[in-house]
Amino acid sequence: MSKDTLRIGCASGFWGDTEFAAAQLVEHGDIDVLVFDYLAEITMSLLIRARAKDPTQGYAPDFVATMRPLMKQVKERGIRVVANAGGVNPSACREALVAAAQAEGVELKIAAVLGDDLMPQVEALRAAGVREMFSGAPFPAKVMSANAYLGAFPIAAALAAGADIVVTGRCVDSAVALGPLIARFGWTAGDLDKLAQGSLAGHLIECGTQATGGNYTDWASVPGWDDMGFPIAECRADGSFVITKPPGTGGLVCPSTVGEQMLYEIGDPRAYILPDVVCDFTSVTLAQVGADRVEVRGARGLAPTDQAKASLTYADGFRAMSLFMIGGIDAGPKARRTGAAMLARMRRHYAARGWPDFTETSVEAIGAEDTYGPHARGSAREVMLKVGVRHPMKDALELFAREVAPMALMSSPAVTGFTGGRPKVQPVVRLFSCLVPKNQLEVSIDMGGQRLAAPQLAGEPLDTGRLPAVDGPLPPAGAFDRGARTVPLVQLAWGRSGDKGDSANIGIIARKPEFLPYIRAALTEEAVALWFGHVASGEVRRYDLPGTHALNFTLQQALGGGGIASVRMDSQGKAFAQMLLDHPVPIPADMGL
C-alpha cells in the first residue's frame, strides 16, 4: 500500500459484536490499521459495576480474547490496532493485553490513553450548577460514572511513540480511525477539512457492517448475510477516501448503504461536534468508483469548540419487562386487556401495602402494530404481549415479576410462550450529558514503564446561530397541473434511524435527485412531529444535506428515556425510519419511479 494511503478496517460496532470480524480483516482485508468500537453510552455504567467488584476489571474482556490469537499475525503484518475497549480501566486493559502477548510469545508495545475519567471532578461540577445539556435537568444526586469524550490526537501521539496497540477509555467513536490518520499523514490541528474527512471515515466504519449493507432499507438486494464483509476505509493524505470491504465477503457497498450510515445518529449536519473538529457534512458526495467501492469527498471542518461533552450515568429506580404470547382471534385486543389487568392488579396490591404507583408503564401488543400508534393496520391472530414497568422500589417489581405467570389462568385464552421465566428486575441507569471546559481535562498516555503527556484539547466557542442556512428544493410551480398521485416514501427514498440518549434521528436519502422536492414538501417538521406524535413529545427539527440529496430529522424526548432506562420495546428508535417510510408523498401523476 502506498505511503499516501492508509487502509483502516473496523471489526466491532458495539460490545458484543461478532468474534469473527477481526480475523476476516487481518487475514483478508490487506489493512494497515485494525480498529474496534465498544463503548455505547450506557456501557460505561456496566463497566463501573464490574470494576467495583474487581479493581482489575472495568474494560471489555472480549477485546483481549479476540486479539490474543491474532497477535502474531498483527505483528508479522505490521498492523496497528486501536480500540476504545479500555472502558473505565484502560491501564488494566493494557496490562491484560501485555500478558496475552507474552503468553503468545509476541513482543508488542501497548499504550493506554488516560484522562477521560471525571469522577474526581463530580462534586466540583455539581457545585458549579452544571445541568443536562439537552433537557436542562439538574445534576444527579449520585453519579455512577462520569467520562469526558476524548479525541484523536492522544491516540496519534501514542502511535507516534511506537505503540503497536492503543486502548482508550471514553473517546468519540470516530477517533479510533482519525488518530491513525493523523499519525500517518502528519495532519495538524489546523487541517480542519482533512480532520473532518478523517472523522467522517471513522463515523462510516464505526458501526461495522451497517456501512456494508447491514440494516439497509433495500435489504432484499444485499447478498451474503451469513458472511458479511466488515468495512474498510481506504484513506488518502488529502483526506478523501474509499469505503470498501474484503473481497469475496457478503454485503453491499454503494452510495445508499454508505449514505444511510453517514446519517446514522447525527444531529445538525452543519455542525457535527467532535473534540478535534466541528464537521459540516452538508456538501459530502458519494460516488461509486468500482464494485463495492464508494469514494467520499466534501466534508468540511470548523474549529473545535472549547467544551468537551461528558456522559454521566446515575441510578433511577428499577424496571422489569414481561414478554409472552397470546394467540387466536382478536389477539391484539386480548393482549391489551391482559396488560391493563396486570397493571391494575399490581396497583391494588401496591396501594394495600402503602407503596407508590409505578413510575412508568408501557403495554405493547407486538404483532398488532402497537408501536405504530394511529398508523397501525389490520388485526393479528398472534402477538407478543410486552408489559414494561418502572418503580422506585425493587420489592414492588419483584412482586410484579411473580404475578405475571398467574395471568395465564385468569385472563384471555391462548396465553402461552413465557420467555425466560419470570421477568428480571434490573436497576434503571439514566444518562446525563453535559459540557465541561476542555482545559479541565488532563490527558496522558500509559506506556507501561513510562507516562507520556498527551496533546491537550483546545478550541473556541461555537455560535450555532452563525452557521450558514442550508435549504433544499420544493416542487416547481405547476408541478401538479397534470394531476397528482400519492406513493409511500419508501418508493422515493432510503432511510435509517438511531438514538442519542432520549432523542432519535431519522435520515432520509432521495433515490433520485428529482424526488427530493416532493419529499421535502411532504416531510415538513410538522408532518413528522404528527407522524410520531404517539411516541415523541419534544421538538422535531429538519436539516438539509444537498450533497447527498438527503434530509435529517431529530426528534427530542422520543424514546421514553432511551437505552436501558426505557420500558418501550424500541428504546433506541431503530424502527423509526421504517415507520416513516410508510408516509404518503404526493407526486405528479406522470412522474416515473
Residue pair 312/141 in contact (Cβ under 8 Å)? The answer is no
Widest pairwise Cα distance in the chain: 77
| Cα separation, 103 vs 80, whole angstroms | 19
pLDDT digits (tens, 9 = 90+) for 186-199: 999 999 999 999 99
Q: Where are the alpha helices (DSSP H) in 304-359?
A: 331-353
| Cα separation, 111 vs 95, whole angstroms | 9
Residue pair 265/498 in contact (Cβ under 8 Å)? The answer is yes
Beta carbons within 10 angstroms of residue 311's beta carbon: 22
pLDDT digits (tens, 9 = 90+) for 477-522: 999 999 999 999 999 999 999 998 899 999 999 999 999 999 999 9
Residue pair 261/204 in contact (Cβ under 8 Å)? The answer is yes
Phi-psi region of 180 (alpha: psi -120 to 50; beta: other; left: phi over 0): alpha
Looking at residue 562, what is its pLDDT?
87
If pLDDT is split at 50, 70 and 90, which confidence band does 378 have? confident
Non-local CB neighbours of 409 within 8 Å, separated by 6+ positions: none
Mean pLDDT of 231-259: 98
Sign of CA dihedral 488, 492, 494, 500: negative
Mean pLDDT of 354-380: 95
**Where in the chain are the domains?**
5-114+150-300, 313-430, 469-588
| Cα separation, 88 vs 36, whole angstroms | 16
| Cα separation, 224 vs 315, whole angstroms | 42
Residue pair 300/280 in contact (Cβ under 8 Å)? The answer is yes
| Cα separation, 215 vs 213, whole angstroms | 6
Cell numbers 479525541 label which residue? 151
pLDDT digits (tens, 9 = 90+) for 322-340: 999 999 999 999 999 999 9
pLDDT for residue 17 is more than 60: yes
pLDDT for residue 435 is more than 70: yes
3-state SS record for 61-99: HHHHHHHHHHHHHHHHHCCEEEECCCCCCHHHHHHHHHH
3-state SS record for 182-221: HHHHCCCCCCHHHHHHHHHHHHHHCCHHHHCCCCCCCHHH
Closest by alpha carbon to 25, among 16, 37, 12, 15?
Answer: 12
pLDDT for residue 458 is more than 90: no
Mean pLDDT of 291-320: 96
The proportion of the chain whose per-residue pLDDT surpasses 70, expressed as a percent, equals 99
Looking at residue 1, what is its pLDDT?
41
Which class for 362: exposed (0-12), middle (13-18), buried (19 or more C-beta within 10 A)? buried
The kind and range of the H/E element at 159 are helix 153-160
Looking at residue 261, what is its pLDDT?
98
Looking at residue 89, what is its pLDDT?
95
Look over the chain and give the mean of its residue pLDDT values, rounded to a whole number. 95
Question: Given strand 550-555, what is the order of strands in its sheet?
Answer: 493-500, 503-510, 550-555, 540-545
pLDDT digits (tens, 9 = 90+) for 139-187: 999 998 899 999 999 999 999 999 999 999 999 999 999 999 999 999 9
Mean pLDDT of 1-29: 92
In this structure, what DSSP letter does residue 228 have? B
Cell numbers 413529545 label which residue? 537
Q: 3-class SS at 397? A: helix
**114, three cell numbers:** 488516560
Q: Which CATH number fits domain 313-430: 3.40.1000, 2.60.40, 3.30.70, 3.60.60?
A: 3.30.70
3-state SS record for 426-472: EEEEEEEEEEEEHHHCCCEEECCCCEEECCCCCCCCCCHHHCCCCCC
